[in-house]
């Protein structure tokens, strides 16, 4: 574990990703303590103030402090994105590993379904699910989890196919181990590296998708300090008060960038070919 971390920070992407990730972790854990104001308090005397010493990132149309709102929003935005990815990973891997292990006609049918589900673009898929479940942040998370599941299943299945031909699986088979034991103890640990890499990059997409759904009015609802919602609410004032768009937009891009960098660096570190 420590060895992996050491190799991770030796790469430029890994180093920048790790630094950004540490800053994010601080914002998530201590954000509400660092925030100078309450995220939902209106400061009527200072609406749409440009950034100043009192309000570091300026204020929005109700005089709420944007810096405080960003810090409070970090917790829910990032937690929900991680949960959505985790949900897709667990369900997707279960489907992928089982399908790849059983193989044959069963695998063929499951893969036809997965292919078809992947023909529906992620945004469209989550849009439909949110329409069914109703618009709020938790449902947006579930929708993203469902939309990402087929992709994760496909990755897990293709790695399972290459692992199951290896000697140790054949050995376990010869020992007479059950299918459940083989998938849980022999196959799953050996596909984890690929799944973690794929999952890390998916977190970046989950963050962007979650913000997009909120922007379209299908995710978090006002007055939540959700970043996508903040951009959407600020659009009315964007020409006069550009900072109301700029800061939440930069926040979303920075978090997505963090997980993209980490995912790329992890791919190089965990790739068996490179060491």
8 Å CB contact between 86 and 94: no
Beta partners for residue 65, in sequence order: 59
Rounded Cα gap, residues 67 and 60, in angstroms: 10
Residue 117 touches other proteins, criterion: CB under 8 A: yes
Residue 254 touches other proteins, criterion: CB under 8 A: yes
Find the binder of other proteins among 30, 106, 113, 168 (CB under 8 A): 113
Residue 140 touches other proteins, criterion: CB under 8 A: no
Binding-site size for other proteins (CB under 8 A) equals 45
Residue 106 backbone class (left: φ over 0; alpha: ψ -120 to 50; beta: rest): alpha
8 Å CB contact between 195 and 159: yes
Closer residue to other proteins in complex, CB, 128/192: 128
SS3 251: helix
Give counts: helices (H), strands (E), the chain.
Answer: 11, 0
Residue 239 touches other proteins, criterion: CB under 8 A: yes
Residue matched to tokens 């449902």: 139
Residue 51 touches other proteins, criterion: CB under 8 A: no
Residue 45: count other Cβ atoms within 10 Å of its Cβ.
Answer: 8
Give CA torsion, residues 122, 128, 129, 134, to 10 deg: 130
Residue 18 touches other proteins, criterion: CB under 8 A: no
Rg (CA), the chain: 22
Closer residue to other proteins in complex, CB, 35/130: 130
Task: Show the site string, 182-211: x = touches other proteins by CB under 8 A, - = not.
Answer: ----------------------x---xx-x
Closer residue to other proteins in complex, CB, 88/204: 204
**How far apart are CB 202 and other proteins at their closest, in Å?**
13
Find the binder of other proteins among 36, 103, 189, 242 (CB under 8 A): 242
> Residue 49 has what DSSP assignment?
P
Residue 142 touches other proteins, criterion: CB under 8 A: no
Residue 262 touches other proteins, criterion: CB under 8 A: no
Candidates 63-71, 115-123, 153-161, 179-187 — which segment interacts with other proteins by CB under 8 A? 115-123
Q: Encoding tokens for residue 14? A: 């890994």
What stretch of H or E contains 128? helix 122-133
Find the binder of other proteins among 24, 252, 262, 266 (CB under 8 A): 252
Residue 166 touches other proteins, criterion: CB under 8 A: no
**How far apart are CB 223 and other proteins at their closest, in Å?**
20
Residue matched to tokens 């939902």: 40
**How far apart are CB 175 and other proteins at their closest, in Å?**
37
Beta partners for residue 129, in sequence order: none
Contact residues for other proteins (CB under 8 A)? 112-113, 115-124, 127-132, 134, 204, 208-209, 211-212, 215-218, 228, 231-232, 235, 238-239, 242, 245-246, 249, 252-254, 256-257, 260-261
């Amino acid at each position: 574990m420590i060895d992996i971390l050491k190799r991770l920070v030796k790469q430029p992407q890994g180093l920048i990703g790790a630094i950004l990730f540490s800053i994010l972790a601080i914002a998530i854990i201590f954000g509400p303590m660092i925030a100078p104001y309450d995220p939902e308090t209106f400061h009527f005397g200072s609406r749409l103030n440009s950034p100043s010493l009192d309000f570091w990132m300026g204020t929005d149309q109700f005089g709420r402090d944007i810096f405080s709102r960003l810090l409070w929003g970090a917790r829910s935005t990032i937690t929900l994105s991680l949960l959505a990815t985790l949900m897709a990973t667990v369900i997707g891997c279960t489907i992928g590993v089982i399908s790849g292990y059983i193989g044959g006609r069963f695998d063929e049918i499951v893969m036809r379904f997965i292919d078809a589900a992947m023909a529906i673009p992620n945004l469209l898929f989550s849009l439909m699910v949110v329409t069914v479940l109703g618009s709020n942040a938790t449902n947006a998370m579930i929708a993203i989890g469902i939309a990402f599941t087929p992709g994760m299943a496909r990755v897990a299945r293709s790695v399972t196919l290459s692992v199951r031909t290896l000697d140790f699986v054949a050995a376990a088979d010869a020992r007479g181990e059950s299918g459940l034991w083989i998938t849980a103890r022999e196959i799953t640990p050996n596909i984890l590296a690929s799944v973690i890499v794929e999952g890390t990059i998916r977190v970046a997409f989950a963050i962007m998708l979650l913000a997009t759904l909120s922007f379209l009015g299908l995710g978090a609802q006002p007055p939540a300090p959700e970043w996508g919602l903040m951009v959407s609410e600020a659009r009315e004032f964007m020409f006069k008060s550009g900072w109301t768009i700029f800061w939440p937009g930069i926040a979303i891009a920075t978090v997505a960038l963090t997980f993209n960098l980490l995912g790329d660096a992890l791919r190089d570190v965990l790739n068996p070919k490179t060491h």
